[in-house]
Amino acid sequence: MEEKDCIFCKIVRGEVPSKKVFEDEKVYAFHDINPVAPTHILIVPKKHILGVQTLEPEDECLVGHMFYVARKIAEDQGLAPKEDLKGGYRLVFNVGRDAGQSVFHLHLHLIGGRHMGWPPG
Ligand code: 5GP
Ligand code: ZN
């Protein structure tokens, strides 16, 4: 999938509407169109990267930044784990079709607002 046709590149460029949660020079975060929990936000790099399966050494800082942004958004959404051990959220990269990846532009799922089981399906 080239950047020209990529749905998340189109969202980042504003060509496809999205419910924005956060944006800076490196990343764009928005609500998932088909949420699997009360909170389901996608954090995507503005740079088109196919997925974790094609990460390069030059992308290491960018991926670290995605996790930090996820932490900040989770706190803003009231999802941070509490001292009584309640609360919390899940951060997920689906890598490849067997793992559930359907959009081939790197994205970190931030999922929360309900109890989640383990192992995942
Ligand atoms: P994946 O299955 O690749 O890990 O996750 C892709 C996610 O992108 C899915 O949860 C899907 O609901 C979401 N998604 C796909 N197309 C769109 C869209 O056009 N807008 C938004 N907001 N989310 C999308
Ligand atoms: Zn893209």
* Residues 73 and 96 sit within 8 Å (Cβ to Cβ): no
Q: Say yes or no: CB of residue 94 within 6 Å of ligand 1.
A: yes
User: From the alpha carbon of 30, which atom of ligand 1 is closest?
Assistant: 22
Q: Is residue 121 part of a domain?
A: no
Q: Which CATH number does the domain housing residue 41 bear? A: 3.30.428.10
Q: Is residue 59 part of a domain?
A: yes
Answer whether residue 2 shows pLDDT above 80: no
The residue range of the domain holding 87 is 3-112
Q: What is the mean pLDDT of residues 82-93?
A: 89
Whole-prediction pTM: 0.97
The string of pLDDT tens digits covering residues 45-75 is 999 999 999 999 999 999 999 999 999 999 9
Q: Say yes or no: CB of residue 39 within 6 Å of ligand 1.
A: no
Answer whether residue 111 shows pLDDT above 90: yes
Q: Is residue 120 part of a domain?
A: no
Q: Is residue 9 part of a domain?
A: yes
> 82: pLDDT confidence band, cut at 50, 70 and 90?
confident
* Four-point Cα dihedral 31, 93, 62, 8, nearest 10: -40
Domain count, the chain: 1
Q: Is residue 118 part of a domain?
A: no
Residue 65: both structure tokens together: 């930044």
Q: How far is the CA of 31 from the centre of ligand 1 (A)?
A: 9
Q: Is residue 119 part of a domain?
A: no
Report percent pLDDT > 90 for the chain: 91
Closest CA to 26 of 58, 53, 61: 61
How much is the pLDDT for 1? Answer: 65
Q: Say yes or no: CB of residue 89 within 6 Å of ligand 1.
A: no
